[in-house]
Amino acid sequence: MYRPEHATHTATTAHHDDRVQFLIVGDESSLPELEAELALLPLCARGRVFVEVEHPEDAVALAIPMRMTITWLARSRRSGRPGTGELCAKGEAATRAVRAWTAEMLCDGPGETRAIISGGFALVSEIREHLAIEVGMSNEAVTVASSVSH
User: In this structure, is residue 118 part of a structural domain?
Assistant: yes
User: In this structure, is residue 4 part of a structural domain?
Assistant: no
User: In this structure, is residue 143 part of a structural domain?
Assistant: yes
Check residues 124 and 77 and name the one with the higher pLDDT. Answer: 124
pLDDT of residue 147: 59
Q: In which order are the strands placed within the sheet that holds 21-27?
A: 67-74, 46-53, 21-27, 113-120, 142-149
> What pTM was computed for the model?
0.83
| Residue 44: CATH number of its domain | 3.40.50.80
Residue 92 lies in domain: 16-149
Taking a C-beta distance cutoff of 8 angstroms, is the pair 123, 27 a contact?
yes
User: In this structure, is residue 46 part of a structural domain?
Assistant: yes
Question: CA-to-CA distance for 69 and 148, rounded, in angstroms?
Answer: 23
Q: What is the pLDDT of residues 89-136, one digit of tens each?
A: 899 999 999 999 999 999 888 999 999 999 999 999 999 999 999 999
User: In this structure, is residue 3 part of a structural domain?
Assistant: no
Share of the chain above pLDDT 70, in %: 85
Question: CA-to-CA distance for 122 and 119, rounded, in angstroms?
Answer: 8
